[in-house]
Amino acid sequence: EVQLVESGGDLVQPGGSLRLSCAASGISFSGHWMSWVRQAPGKGLEWVANINQDGSDENYVDSVKGRFTISRDNAKNSLYLQMNRLRAEDTAVYYCARDRETLFDYWGQGTLVTVSS
Amino acid sequence: DIVVTQTPLSLSVTPGQPASISCKSSQSLLNSDGKTFFYWYLQKPGQPPQLLIYEVSNRFSGVPDRFSGSGSGTDFTLKISRVEAEDVGVYYCMQSMQLPRTFGQGTKLEIK
């Protein structure tokens, strides 16, 4: 059974940092790109970042470049998103998803990040 | 960035009736290899999105055949032949022709 389980979401002050994790099982984790996609409360979907199989290639949406870093640990079947200099507009549910380089076929349930003072 | 414009933003449909959602992309999504990188997702209430259709018209595993996708280039349509209660949620289209991947605004489908 495919499982992607995100964790690490929390309430954080503007300018603060947070690290999200995604634990994968049942999806041949090391063989696939992975992505983070976010959804602000009551809003649509926004792709945030992706990373290739061995972590040597990363891509980001412009709004998070220089502030967020995606990484992975294939030995632990885990994906991460280090978020620094957080802003109110980063408030969202963050989903990890298996990235087949053109589509997302499996998604986690998401973890909520709230940036507020 | 490629902008994907979805219409309508909401739909109210009687069970058993058809429904149609359209998406228009600001650039062609036809790749040089002949594939078109356009997708449909459904986000049911309280759930993450789930893949319905890939590359315009291919149903993902387990998706009922009442869902069909069509279109080419910049204009695409999702049709539900006979809406059922379990189809409620928000439908999103997405392009993967170039990064960043971008989604339409979403179409909320409700049952009358």
Q: pLDDT tens digits for A78-111?
A: 999 999 999 999 999 999 999 998 999 999 999 9
How confident is the model over A42-64, as a mean pLDDT? 97
Residue A46 main-chain phi, psi, to 5 deg: -135, 120
Q: pLDDT tens digits for A50-59?
A: 999 999 999 9
- Supply the mean pLDDT for chain A: 97
CB-based burial label for B68 (10 Å; 0-12, 13-18, 19+): middle
Q: Which residues of B touch A35 (CB under 8 A)?
A: 101
Q: pLDDT tens digits for B79-97?
A: 999 999 999 999 999 999 9
Plot region of B73 (φ>0 → left; ψ -120 to 50 → alpha; else → beta):
left
Compute the nearest-CA separation of A113 from chain B (Å): 16
Q: What confidence score (pLDDT) does residue A27 get?
A: 85
Q: Is the pLDDT of residue A116 over 90?
A: yes
Say if A36 is an interface residue toward chain B (CB within 8 Å): no
**Rounded CA separation A21/A34 (Å):** 12
How confident is the model over B28-55, as a mean pLDDT? 97
